[in-house]
């Protein structure tokens, strides 16, 4: 794979040129041959290694170990060695130039989504932190549509700006590179940050990934983040860029991040739903809304009526998050269901969820897993640790052991019986009439067509 990098005033463009015989259907299909990012950085003011890693994050699904990865902008020898050691890829074009140096008087950069976990991460980071939001823009001639709506996230950025926080919204069509649509790699959201790292003097790259995601508890079983492929593969690359990885919320659960946004003034910027048309108006139909609404109620103690909860979870997408083994983000669902029942809730659905999940893991879900704090960059460790402990006290040894021992993937007779109850309830309560949803989908498609005509296209 060769990537031609074009940095012109106001724009960086990556032009993809697959090698002959190189596969472009590696899990996801390569649908387009170029992508652009709009930015206010003059040509020549982005370190070459930042451009190379940005290009790699855009094309990673289609780069194989059998074919060298090359860019029109050469990598430093140090970066090429890190790519080789971490990803097992050979970099074709290398030049003798110095790696990016750590800037004096630097500050962290946050890949900002506008969601609860992202806003909570910003609360824990220094006030000097710069946030970067990757905003979806449809390329000219593109007809594919999506249910996702980026307006709420952009309004979240406006809230940050009103609170005096530095934030950049970077439009890009990178999600249209692949089919089905989406980011080519989980870390592609870091590209806006990388492209501004020199201009904004960044010395760390941060994400809002909570305990369940960082340690893979949301998939049913603990995995040590320090020994994860992410750290082994990408850690060396970001280190060469003088952007050590910083995950402030890695040691706290979604229960804690929800509490943070309910208590801090920046919480007004938080909305995890990516389908709602505006900030403060989530769709209330997607699985993320169903889980986050439960979380909000569990933290606040204010619950909707039983029928309202069940109405959210019987929809086609949301119900699959309960029926799958293990349930999606199961520790959080377990805590919410048990808290609901303890507060007098009478939903048969959540009673089955609680039975399937087993005991309430509240003891450690509301505390801080201290090993995660030891992985923070040294410069920011003490400050972030103090902020984390404002919202969550440290786990005791037994609680940390419970986190490391978390595993709901082993066979269990009681769990199997609860699963049968769940399936029975869902069979008796099919998804609601889809005609209203179909009408909304038609309206969305018509609105998308109108937006294509009105918007300035990349």
Domain boundaries, the chain: 2-246, 284-366+411-458
Q: What is the mean pLDDT of residues 110-138?
A: 97
Q: Look at residue 436 in the predicted model and tell me its pLDDT.
A: 57
Percent of the chain surpassing pLDDT 70: 93
> Is residue 253 predicted with pLDDT exceeding 90?
yes
Summarised one tens digit per residue, pLDDT across range 127-168 is 999 999 999 999 888 888 788 889 999 999 999 999 999 999
Mean pLDDT, residues 274-283 taken together:
93
Highest-scoring range by mean pLDDT, 284-293, 298-307, 383-392:
383-392
Question: Residue 251 in contact with residue 369, Cβ under 8 Å?
Answer: yes
pLDDT tens, position by position, 202-226: 999 999 999 999 999 999 999 999 9
pLDDT at 34 over 90: yes
Question: In the structure, what pLDDT confidence band is assigned to residue 20 with cuts at 50, 70 and 90?
Answer: confident
Position 19 scores a pLDDT of 82
Q: If you average pLDDT over residues 230-254, what whole number do you get? A: 96
- Rounded to 5 degrees, φ, ψ at 85 are -70, -40
Q: Is the per-residue pLDDT at 450 higher than 90?
A: no
| Cα 362 from Cα 118, distance rounded (Å) | 22
pLDDT higher at 20 or 213: 213
**Residue 7 or 363, more confident:** 7
Top-confidence residue, 164 or 451: 164
Identify whether the C-beta of residue 8 lies closer than 8 Å to the C-beta of residue 36.
no
Q: How many CB atoms lie within 10 A of CB 304?
A: 14
pLDDT at residue 452 tops 60: no
Integer Cα distance of 429 and 111 in angstroms? 40
Average pLDDT in the 308-316 region? 94
Condensed to tens digits (0 to 9), the pLDDT of residues 431-447 reads 975 555 556 655 665 66
Residues facing 15 on adjacent strands: 4, 34
Specify the pLDDT at position 361: 83
pLDDT of residue 417: 95
Residue 57 pLDDT exceeds 60: yes
Question: What span, in angstroms and rounded, lies between the C-alpha atoms of 375 and 65?
Answer: 29
Res. 419: pLDDT tops 70 = yes
What's the pTM? 0.91
**Would the pLDDT of 456 be above 80?**
no
Tell me, what's the pLDDT at 458?
Answer: 52
Tell me the pLDDT band of 271, cut-offs 50, 70 and 90: very high
* Confidence at residue 315, expressed as pLDDT on a 0 to 100 scale: 92
């Amino acid at each position: 794979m060769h990537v031609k990098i074009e940095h012109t005033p106001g724009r960086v463009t990556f032009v993809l040129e697959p090698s002959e015989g190189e596969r472009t259907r590696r899990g996801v299909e390569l649908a387009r041959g170029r992508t652009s990012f709009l930015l206010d950085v003059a040509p020549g003011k982005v370190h070459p290694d930042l451009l190379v890693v940005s290009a790699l994050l855009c094309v990673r699904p289609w780069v194989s170990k059998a074919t060298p990865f090359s860019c029109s902008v050469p990598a430093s020898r140090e970066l090429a060695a890190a790519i080789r050691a971490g990803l097992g890829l050979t970099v074709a074009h290398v030049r003798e130039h110095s790696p990016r140096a750590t800037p004096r008087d630097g500050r962290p950069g946050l890949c900002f989504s506008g969601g609860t976990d992202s806003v909570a991460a910003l609360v824990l980071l220094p006030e000097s932190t710069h946030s970067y939001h990757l905003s979806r823009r449809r390329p000219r001639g593109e007809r594919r549509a999506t249910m996702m709506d980026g307006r709420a996230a952009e309004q979240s950025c406006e809230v940050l700006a009103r609170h005096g926080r530095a934030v950049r919204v970077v439009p890009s069509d990178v999600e249209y590179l692949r089919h089905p649509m989406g980011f080519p790699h989980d870390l592609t959201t870091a590209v806006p940050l990388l492209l501004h790292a020199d201009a904004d003097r960044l010395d760390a790259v941060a994400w809002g990934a909570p305990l369940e995601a960082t340690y893979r508890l949301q998939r049913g079983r603990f995995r040590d983040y320090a020994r994860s492929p992410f750290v082994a593969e990408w850690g060396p690359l970001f280190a060469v860029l003088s952007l050590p990885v910083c995950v402030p919320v890695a040691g706290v659960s979604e229960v804690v991040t929800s509490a943070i946004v309910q208590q801090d003034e920046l919480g007004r910027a938080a909305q995890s739903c990516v389908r709602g048309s505006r900030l403060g108006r989530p769709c209330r139909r997607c699985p993320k809304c169903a889980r986050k609404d439960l979380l909000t109620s569990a933290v606040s103690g204010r619950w909707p009526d039983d029928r309202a909860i069940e109405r959210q979870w019987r929809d086609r997408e949301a119900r699959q998050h309960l029926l799958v083994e293990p349930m999606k983000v199961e520790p959080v669902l377990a805590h919410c269901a048990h808290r609901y029942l303890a507060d007098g809730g009478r939903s048969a659905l959540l009673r089955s969820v609680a039975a399937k999940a087993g005991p309430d893991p509240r003891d450690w879900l509301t505390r801080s897993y201290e090993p995660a704090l030891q992985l923070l960059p040294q410069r920011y460790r003490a400050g972030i640790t103090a902020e984390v402990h404002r919202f969550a006290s440290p786990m005791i040894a037994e609680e940390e052991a419970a986190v490391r021992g978390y595993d709901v993937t082993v066979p269990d007779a009681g769990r199997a019986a609860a699963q049968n109850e769940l399936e029975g309830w869902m069979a008796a309560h099919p998804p609601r009439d889809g005609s209203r949803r179909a009408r909304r989908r038609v309206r969305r498609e018509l609105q998308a067509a109108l937006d294509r005509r009105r918007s300035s296209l990349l």
